[in-house]
């Protein structure tokens, strides 16, 4: 586990070097988006550690963005105050969603988060007086540090990636200690976990609220970075996108969040840029088809995500054996079942 900390330190060093190479503002912006998506995806990876899946992360991302934007723009709060308040509101919203939803079986929990995502997105469009409706909110205040207003993509690069590093450290710590063990035990067997005194529903709630808070923090940063928000980036498609990132990266490791977000975002950019050159007459819907193909290929060849897949590949090349099957629900348990 301390290898993770070494990895985070190496990442921090690499991130410090990137701006020195004089990248274009397009590359800086790409890094920033990957950073924001990494934070959202890390929340999903934490959630996945306990075997849960959410299709409502874009809603939490959006609530974080709208709340911080409104507090800073309309009430004149400092963004540095508005953002934590937005995260707190998102956490409270997730708690309110979790109370009824966590009573449901896993599949229905996913559907409940999906429903919440759709409702929140509809509200963003319909609550015109608050959200500006489909045309969104403009002129969201920028962040400033020590009286200096952050203006360039490179300025935000430092802020966003500092937040990513902090998110990684928190997630790694969480996974390494008592709560992380309890969550992985729940993934292994809810019955077994309960028999050792772990309050399964409570732990699921905690990690669900935490994953929403991650999404909310990323959303708040996004609003102050882009200065403009509208409902469309927070639609269901975005929730699916985040889930794809988490699955592609792998739900078993905090690195899944980073590599999943990076791989899918870069793929997205490459497809957007290259597809019209190869097939000049096809439309945007082919992008979706290409994601589909890539996702299927990854699931076939790296069922535990690319991070674990790469580790297995390295081990294979060294002549070892791959780590075992992907994590998932073990076979049905009969402790609650009928007779002995």
Among 60, 61, 59, 79, CA closest to 69: 79
Q: Write the CA distances from 313 to 301, 302, 321, 325, integer angstroms.
A: 11, 10, 9, 14
Q: How far is the CB of 123 from other proteins (least distance, A)?
A: 29
Q: How far is the CB of 130 from other proteins (least distance, A)?
A: 31
Question: Is 89 exposed, middle or buried, given 0-12, 13-18 or 19+ CB atoms closer than 10 A?
Answer: buried
CB nearer to other proteins: pick between 105 and 196? 196
CB nearer to other proteins: pick between 35 and 327? 327
Among 125, 79, 88, 81, CA closest to 225: 79
Which residues share a beta bridge with 137?
Answer: 229
Residue ranges that bind other proteins, judged by CB under 8 A? 170-171, 173-174, 176-182, 184-185, 187-189, 191-200, 206-207, 210, 252, 324, 327, 330, 333-336, 338-340
Whether residue 247 contacts residue 293, with contact meaning beta carbons closer than 8 Å, is answered with: no
How many CA atoms within 13 Å lie on the side-chain side of 304? 19
Q: How far is the CB of 206 from other proteins (least distance, A)?
A: 5
Q: How far is the CB of 234 from other proteins (least distance, A)?
A: 26
Q: How far is the CB of 208 from other proteins (least distance, A)?
A: 12
CB nearer to other proteins: pick between 82 and 187? 187
DSSP 127-151: -HHHH-GGG-B--PPPPEETTEEP-
Whether residue 171 contacts residue 313, with contact meaning beta carbons closer than 8 Å, is answered with: no
How far, in Å, CA of 123 to CA of 68, rounded? 17
Q: How far is the CB of 173 from other proteins (least distance, A)?
A: 4
How many CA atoms within 13 Å lie on the side-chain side of 256? 30
CB nearer to other proteins: pick between 100 and 328? 328
Q: Write the CA distances from 127 to 77, 89, 326, integer angstroms.
A: 22, 18, 43
CB nearer to other proteins: pick between 277 and 321? 321
Q: How far is the CB of 338 from other proteins (least distance, A)?
A: 6
Angle at 263 between CA 301 and CA 8, to 5 degrees: 105
CB nearer to other proteins: pick between 273 and 340? 340
CB nearer to other proteins: pick between 137 and 258? 258
CB nearer to other proteins: pick between 52 and 252? 252
Which residues share a beta bridge with 148?
Answer: 145
- Find where tokens 């669900």 sit: 208
Joined tokens for residue 283 = 């439309």
How far, in Å, CA of 307 to CA of 298, rounded? 11
Q: How far is the CB of 205 from other proteins (least distance, A)?
A: 10
């Amino acid at each position: 586990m301390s290898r993770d900390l070494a990895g985070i330190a190496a990442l921090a060093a690499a991130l410090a070097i990137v701006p020195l190479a004089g990248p274009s503002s397009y590359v800086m912006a790409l890094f920033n988006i990957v950073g924001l998506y990494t934070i959202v995806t890390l929340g999903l990876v934490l959630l996945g550690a306990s075997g849960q899946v959410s299709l409502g992360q874009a809603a939490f991302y959006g609530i974080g963005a709208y709340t911080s934007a409104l507090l800073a723009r309309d009430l004149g709060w400092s963004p540095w105050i508005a953002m934590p308040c937005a995260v707190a509101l998102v956490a409270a919203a997730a708690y309110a969603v979790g109370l009824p939803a966590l009573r449901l079986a896993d599949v229905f929990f996913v559907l409940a988060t999906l429903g919440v995502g759709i409702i929140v997105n509809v509200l963003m469009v319909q609550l015109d007086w608050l959200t500006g409706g489909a045309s969104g909110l403009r002129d969201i205040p920028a962040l400033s540090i020590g009286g200096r207003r952050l203006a360039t993509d490179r300025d935000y690069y430092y802020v966003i990636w500092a937040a990513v590093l902090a998110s990684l450290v928190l997630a790694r710590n969480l996974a390494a200690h008592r709560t992380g063990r309890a969550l992985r035990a729940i993934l292994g067997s809810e019955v077994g976990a309960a028999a050792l005194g772990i309050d399964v529903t409570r732990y699921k709630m905690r990690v669900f609220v935490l994953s929403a808070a991650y999404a909310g923090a990323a959303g708040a940063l996004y609003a102050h970075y882009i200065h403009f928000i509208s409902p469309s980036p927070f639609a269901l498609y975005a929730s699916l996108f985040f889930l794809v990132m988490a699955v592609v990266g792998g739900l078993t490791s905090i690195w899944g969040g980073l590599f999943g977000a990076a791989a899918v975002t870069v793929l997205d950019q490459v497809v957007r840029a290259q597809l019209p050159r190869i097939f000049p007459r096809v439309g945007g819907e082919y992008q979706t088809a290409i994601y589909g193909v890539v996702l299927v290929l990854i699931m076939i060849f790296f069922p535990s995500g690319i991070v674990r897949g790469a580790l297995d590949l390295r081990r294979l090349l060294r002549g070892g054996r791959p780590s075992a099957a992907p994590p998932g629900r073990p076979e049905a348990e009969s402790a609650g079942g009928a007779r002995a």
